[in-house]
């Protein structure tokens, strides 16, 4: 899609959202599987279902609701995305990142990404949390393809530190202080929807990947382009194919995400309160 069409759509959804609420969030939080109940932590000011925004992409995945939740977490104005859309659902990549651009247009200065992922890092177990230190994007379309939005950033944006070092250090400190074990590693986004083969997992392992999933990276690239600070945590919901002894299933992923939810929620909320 040409960038002017993409930008016009962003203008339209921004106006539609602003017609509903003038809330100005400082932090945007994308809730992956298992963090669905995070909204309980928030002093909710306004909820905006994606379906109420004309032309907005709506998730088709079971367990992925779709709405923005605006409110305060320990005094910090936040917007949460409860549910995201994925490339494998058939949306154009520009639609997959449209919600991120909308949150940026609404004023966020930091984007906090979370997801459910398969783990392949040494010593990882299902239920672990992993701080994302870097990513590999080469298996999915780059969301910046098309005419450059010069108001966002340069044509060839630097990606040498997508996940903000200062925030990463803070997350490590908070996890330590709260006795919440936290792994660190590189996340790789693949398109899905099929899970990986054992051979693909061996390839990713050789590339230095510790967690694999079907989201997050394209969102991080867009935010980085807009000079919004980015951080991310994966919930390792299963060991990746070939490492796990069992066939992978969405139900297993969701069950592990639900089990890790209390510590995940605690860590994310303690971090956001400091932002
Ligand atoms: N692979 C890809 N995406 C995933 C996985 C996985 O093993 N687990 C949760 N999301």
d(CA 233, CA 135): 12
d(CA 9, CA 50): 14
Q: Is the peptide bond before 193 cis (omega within 30 degrees of 0)?
A: yes
What domains sit in the chain, N to C, each tagged with a CATH number? 2-273 (3.40.50.1580)
Give the pLDDT of residue 217: 98
d(CA 31, CA 113): 7
* Nearest atom within ligand 1 for CA of residue 214: 3
Ligand 1 near 130 CB (within 6 A): no
Which mutation among 124, 203, 253 tests ligand 1's pocket best, with the greatest number of atoms within 8 A of CB? 253
| Whether 161 contacts 188, CB under 8 Å | no
Ligand 1 near 238 CB (within 6 A): yes
Which mutation among 64, 118, 209 tests ligand 1's pocket best, with the greatest number of atoms within 8 A of CB? 118
Active site members: 33, 64, 86, 88-89, 116, 214-215, 238, 250
d(CA 174, CA 97): 29
Give the pLDDT of residue 245: 83
The per-residue pLDDT string of the chain (275 residues; one tens digit each, 9 = 90 and over) reads 555 888 889 999 999 999 999 999 999 999 987 777 888 899 999 999 999 998 899 877 665 568 999 999 999 999 999 989 999 999 999 999 999 999 999 999 999 999 999 999 999 999 999 999 999 999 999 999 999 999 999 999 999 999 999 999 999 999 999 999 999 999 999 999 999 999 999 999 999 999 999 999 999 999 999 999 999 999 999 999 999 888 888 888 888 888 889 999 999 999 999 99
**Residue whose CA is closest, atom 7 of ligand 1?**
118
Ligand 1 near 188 CB (within 6 A): no
């Amino acid at each position: 899609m040409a960038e002017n069409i993409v930008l016009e759509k962003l203008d339209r959804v921004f106006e539609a959202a602003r017609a509903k609420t003038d809330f100005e969030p400082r932090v945007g939080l994308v809730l992956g599987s298992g963090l669905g109940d995070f909204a309980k932590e928030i002093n909710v000011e306004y909820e905006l279902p994606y379906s109420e925004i004309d032309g907005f992409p709506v998730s088709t995945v079971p367990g992925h609701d779709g709405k923005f939740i605006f409110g305060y977490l320990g005094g910090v104005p936040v917007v949460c995305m409860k549910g995201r859309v994925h490339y494998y659902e058939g949306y154009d990549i520009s639609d997959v990142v449209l919600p991120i651009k909308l949150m940026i247009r609404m004023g966020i200065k930091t984007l906090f990404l979370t997801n459910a992922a398969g783990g392949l890092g040494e010593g990882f177990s299902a239920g672990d949390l992993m701080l994302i230190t870097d990513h590999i994007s080469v298996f999915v379309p780059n969301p910046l393809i098309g005419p450059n939005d010069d108001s966002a950033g340069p044509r060839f944006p630097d990606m040498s530190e997508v996940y903000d070092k200062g925030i990463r250090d803070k997350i490590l400190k908070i996890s330590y202080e709260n006795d919440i074990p936290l792994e660190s590693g590189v996340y790789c986004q693949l398109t899905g929807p099929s899970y990986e083969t054992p051979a693909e997992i061996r390839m990713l392992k050789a590339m230095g990947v510790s967690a694999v999933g079907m989201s997050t990276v394209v969102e991080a690239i867009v935010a980085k382009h807009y000079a919004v600070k980015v951080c991310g945590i994966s919930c390792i919901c299963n060991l990746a194919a070939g490492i796990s002894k069992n066939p992978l299933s969405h139900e297993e992923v969701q069950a592990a995400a639900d089990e890790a939810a209390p510590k995940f929620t605690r860590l994310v909320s303690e971090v956001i309160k400091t932002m």
